[in-house]
């Protein structure tokens, strides 16, 4: 029987909605270049927006998370503008806590939809509470920036993720690494230094994770972005409660 993955919070509405596993608002075209554990980490697949949905959230809980989707849409729009406009620079103020929660929402969605090699799974209540802002990740857990901005724009929207599991048993979900048009962030759930998790990914076609450095809850990020033969500076300021 299908159920809302946020049912542990209570207050579900009767109707399950077609939730976009990756928020529809982050891309403008009818299709998205997407890659992740389900699609394999080293390849990307162009997928239509209608195939990005699954009945995994009730209408009430889906609506409650709308601010997260709106924030992700604004970030995606800024990245798109940074690549495609003729301006010499672009800037954006990102609510770090909202983005941290949005990344965890993607993590919950991919498991609830069965977009992993482990099949379908409902997120534990603790993760659901984090996504809905009932509690916060503390200590060494939370969102990290990666000292890297990859690639040049090819005129298409792109989102890539990698679900991180513990290195020994591969049974504990440790977090999620996401790349939205080259903007890389990592959200970790357990305490401890997350660098071994990301470096264990090794080298892919576009990234060398063995040398990456991480910064928890960064305040300011600066990247060189743009099309081939033309680069500009992208400044992202992050705010934290």
SS3 content of the chain, % helix, strand, coil (to 5): 30, 35, 40
Taking CA atoms, 10 is separated from 7, 113, 174, in Å, by 5, 20, 25
- Summarize pLDDT for 191-200 with one digit per residue, the tens: 888 888 888 7
pLDDT at res. 155: 54
Q: Which of 20-24, 39-43, 137-141, 165-169 shows the lowest per-residue confidence on average (mean pLDDT)? A: 39-43
Residues 6+ away with beta carbon under 8 Å from 14: 58
How does the average pLDDT of the chain come out, rounded?
Answer: 82
Q: Given a cut of 90, is residue 58 above it in pLDDT? A: yes
Could you tell me the residue ranges of all domains in the chain? 7-239
Q: Given a cut of 60, is residue 153 above it in pLDDT? A: no
Helix, strand or coil, per DSSP, at residue 19? strand
Pairing of strands 31-36, 158-165: parallel
User: Rounded CA gap, 214 and 143, in Å?
Assistant: 10
Q: How confident is the model at residue 50 (pLDDT cuts 50, 70, 90)?
A: low
Residue keyed to tokens 């080298």: 203
Pairing of strands 214-216, 142-149: antiparallel
Between the two ends of the chain, the Cα-to-Cα distance in Å is: 39
Which range of 15-19, 58-62, 73-77, 82-86 scores highest in mean pLDDT? It is: 58-62
Provide the 10 A C-beta neighbour count for residue 189: 20
Q: How confident is the model at residue 81 (pLDDT cuts 50, 70, 90)?
A: confident
Mean pLDDT on 27-55 = 65
H helix or E strand, kind and range, residue 96: helix 96-112
Q: Given a cut of 50, is residue 37 above it in pLDDT? A: yes
Q: Given a cut of 90, is residue 140 above it in pLDDT? A: yes
User: Rounded CA gap, 193 and 141, in Å?
Assistant: 9
Q: Is the dihedral of CA 62, 65, 66, 68 positive or negative?
A: negative
User: b/e map of 84-109 (b: 16 or more CB within 10 Å)?
Assistant: eeeeeebebebbbbbbbbbbbbbbbb
Instruction: State what percent of residues in the chain have pLDDT above 90.
Output: 36
The tally of CA atoms less than 13 A away on the side-chain side of residue 228 is 2
The encoded tokens of residue 87 equal: 């301006």
């Amino acid at each position: 029987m299908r159920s809302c993955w946020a049912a542990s919070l209570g207050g579900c509405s009767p109707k399950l909605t077609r939730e976009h596993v990756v928020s529809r608002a982050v891309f403008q075209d009818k299709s998205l270049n997407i890659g992740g554990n389900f699609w394999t980490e080293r390849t990307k697949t162009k997928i239509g927006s209608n195939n990005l949905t699954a009945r995994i959230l009730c209408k009430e809980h889906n609506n409650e998370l709308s601010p997260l989707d709106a924030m992700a849409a604004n970030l995606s729009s800024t990245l798109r503008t940074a690549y495609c406009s003729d301006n010499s620079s672009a800037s954006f103020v990102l609510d770090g806590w909202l983005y941290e929660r949005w990344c965890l929402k993607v993590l919950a969605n991919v498991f609830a939809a069965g977009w992993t090699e482990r099949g379908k799974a409902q997120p534990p209540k603790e993760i659901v509470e984090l996504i809905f802002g009932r509690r916060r990740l503390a200590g060494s857990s939370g969102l990290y920036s990666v000292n890297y901005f990859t690639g040049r724009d090819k005129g298409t929207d792109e989102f890539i993720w990698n679900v991180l599991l513990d290195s020994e048993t591969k049974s504990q979900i440790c977090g999620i690494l996401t790349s939205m048009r080259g903007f890389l962030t990592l959200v970790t759930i357990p305490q401890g230094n997350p660098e071994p998790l990301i470096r264990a990914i090794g080298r892919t076609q576009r990234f060398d994770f063995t040398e990456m450095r991480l910064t928890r809850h960064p305040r300011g990020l600066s990247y060189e972005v743009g099309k081939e033969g033309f680069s500009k500076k992208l400044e992202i300021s992050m705010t934290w409660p």
